[in-house]
Amino acid sequence: MKTRIEASLQAALEGVDRDAPPRLRAALHHAVFPGGARVRPRLALAVSGACGGHPPGLALATGCALELLHCASLVHDDLPCFDDADLRRGRPSVHKAFGEPLAVLAGDALILLAFETVARSGHLAPERLPALMTLLAEAAGPARGLVAGQAWESEPEVDVARYHRAKTGALFVAATRGGALAAGADPQPWTHVGMRLGEAYQVADDLCDAHATAESAGKPTQCDVRNDRPSAVTRLGTAGALARLQDLVAEAVEAVPACEGQDALRDLVVKIAERLVPASLQHAAA
């Protein structure tokens, strides 16, 4: 599955490799490769598979688009005017390596490439595109998606649950619902799996920020306290956050609807969850 996802991401950059200004091209490759766990596309493909999986190309494009939108948000979140992070996935962040102008443009480009990727696979099932494209735009968008989540940080008053649903949850929900939509299935039964996984991911991210070193995390840590950001660790303590994480993963597994690939999908959810806990806390979580 991982190989197909990497190949699809490479293919998404084909036009860039052919025609883009060389420094932007390098910045885009830096932003996308090597990636993290590619959790969102794996989830989309798994759900699509559980729903019959036809046409496979549309689910792959959907997963690839979600990963590109995720990469876009990382590049922009790292900018000096937001987190001012020098490190990402163990290497210099895009603005550190290529400067601020190319980091702004790389983020914009990744959003556009996400939609181009789905558009280019759209001929496989054009009647599914309106719902699929709306889902992707909303998941990253300013009302309840990624951009909204980041923008809540500029507000004096924030509802923490709403902030997390937008900043982390929206792309997970889009992964499960999008996988179903790409396969022509009803997305509704898949909403809860994505929601619970998104919440689990946020708690894990908070644990990682509080307990991992920058070296093991591949990005700056201890940011939540420094930036006075809401965190499950400050709210529940480390043990409480770990317990919450395990509950959420159990709820995600439980929420997988009856379908042909139910067991395989439950295994994937557990496997994704295992990677979420920082190494230094693995014994506590065992």
User: Which residues here bind a second copy, judged by CB under 8 A?
Assistant: 15-16, 18-25, 28, 72, 76, 79, 81-82, 99-102, 104-109, 111-113, 115-116, 118-120, 122-123, 126-127, 129-134, 136-138, 140-145, 147-148, 150-155
**Closest C-alpha to 176, from 141, 128, 139:** 139
Here the tokens at position 111 are: 């959003």
Least distance from a second copy to the Cβ atom of residue 184, Å = 13
Q: Which is nearer to a second copy, 64 or 109 (CB)?
A: 109
Shortest reach from residue 281's CB to a second copy, in Å: 32
Q: List C-alpha distances in Å: 195 to 50, 215, 234, 242, 247.
A: 18, 29, 22, 18, 13
Nearer to a second copy, 156 or 283 (CB): 156
Compare residues 107 and 278 and give the one whose CB is closer to a second copy: 107
Of residues 184, 197, 169, 146, the one with CA closest to residue 59: 184
Residue pair 7/33 in contact by the 8 Å Cβ criterion = no
φ, ψ dihedrals at 92, nearest 5°:
-55, 140
Cα pseudo-dihedral 93, 89, 135, 145, rounded to 10: -60
Smallest separation, CB 251 to a second copy (Å): 25
Nearer to a second copy among residue 163 and residue 276 (C-beta): 163
Nearest distance, CB of residue 55 and a second copy, angstroms = 13
Q: Shortest Cβ distance from residue 204 to a second copy (Å)?
A: 25
